[in-house]
């Protein structure tokens, strides 16, 4: 009984947004159907959309106490985690109306957000909405590297990793200023 308590104490919660039929995490700790509690560890995200076979749609790390939402997008066949450390989950996080901000981290030479209206944003203030993340891993060769949805009043950290040639939201919180 004590071992079960220890295992549960070293876990996080992973939730899912999007039209995906099924999402599972596969890692050294085992296989886990989502949404639900998951032991701390590094996982492959396996997603199944309607009419398609399961496939790897990303990677993620779960730390003890994390509450993570996987945002799954069928058009790009990706599930990208948004981490809200120490938060309790009450559905989608609702922030006060107001400006939003995006911060980039990682080893991309350059990263920009391109909205549905083809308006481009760098780091800093952005309008709430959905964006494609374009990154340059080599000078003058931008590539589509991920998707991002920013809500009003939200501050989002996007991490770009050249090893995977992906950029994803790694943390989101409400702006409290």
**In the chain, where the domains are located:** 2-83, 100-174
3-state secondary structure 5-20: HHHHHCEEEEEEECCC
95-117 per-residue burial string, b: 16 or more CB within 10 A, e: under 16: beeeebbbebebebeebbbebee
145-168 mean pLDDT: 86
Q: Is 100 left (phi over 0), alpha (psi -120 to 50) or beta?
A: beta
Domain 2-83 class, CATH top level: mainly beta
Of 60, 51, 50, the closest CA to residue 25 belongs to: 60
Report strand pairing: 30-33 vs 22-27: antiparallel
CB atoms within 10 A of CB 16: 18
> What would the pLDDT profile of 120-140 be if each residue is shown by its tens digit?
888 889 988 889 899 999 998
pLDDT at 93: 56
Predicted confidence (pLDDT) per residue in 138-150, tens digit: 998 988 888 888 8
- Give the pLDDT score at 135: 92
Q: Per-residue pLDDT tens for 23-70?
A: 999 888 889 999 999 999 888 899 998 888 888 888 888 888 888 889
What strands lie across the sheet with 120-121, from one edge to the other?
A: 120-121, 110-115, 129-136, 142-150
**DSSP assignment, residue 92?**
S
Q: Please, which residues have CB within 8 angstroms of residue 16's CB and are 6 or more apart in sequence? A: 23, 34, 35, 69, 70, 72, 79
Burial class (CB in 10 A: 0-12, 13-18, 19+), 82: buried
Among 15-19, 51-55, 91-95, the minimum mean pLDDT is found in 91-95
Whole-angstrom distance, CA of residue 47 vs CA of residue 19: 11
């Amino acid at each position: 009984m004590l071992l079960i308590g220890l295992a549960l104490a070293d876990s996080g919660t992973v939730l899912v947004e999007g039209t995906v039929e099924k999402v599972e995490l596969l890692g050294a700790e085992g296989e886990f159907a989502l949404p639900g509690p998951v032991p701390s560890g590094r996982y492959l995200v396996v997603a199944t959309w309607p009419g398609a076979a399961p496939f790897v749609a990303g990677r993620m790390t779960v730390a003890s106490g994390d509450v993570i939402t996987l945002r799954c997008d069928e058009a790009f066949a990706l599930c990208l985690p948004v981490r809200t450390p120490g938060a309790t989950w009450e559905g989608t996080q609702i922030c006060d109306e107001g400006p939003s901000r995006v911060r980039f981290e990682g080893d991309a030479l350059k990263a920009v957000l391109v909205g549905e209206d083809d308006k481009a944003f760098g780091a800093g203030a952005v309008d709430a909405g959905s964006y494609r993340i374009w990154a340059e891993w080599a000078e003058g060769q931008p590539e589509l590297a991920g998707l991002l949805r920013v809500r009003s009043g939200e501050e989002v950290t996007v991490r770009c990793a050249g090893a995977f040639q992906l950029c994803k939201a790694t943390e989101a919180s409400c702006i409290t200023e």
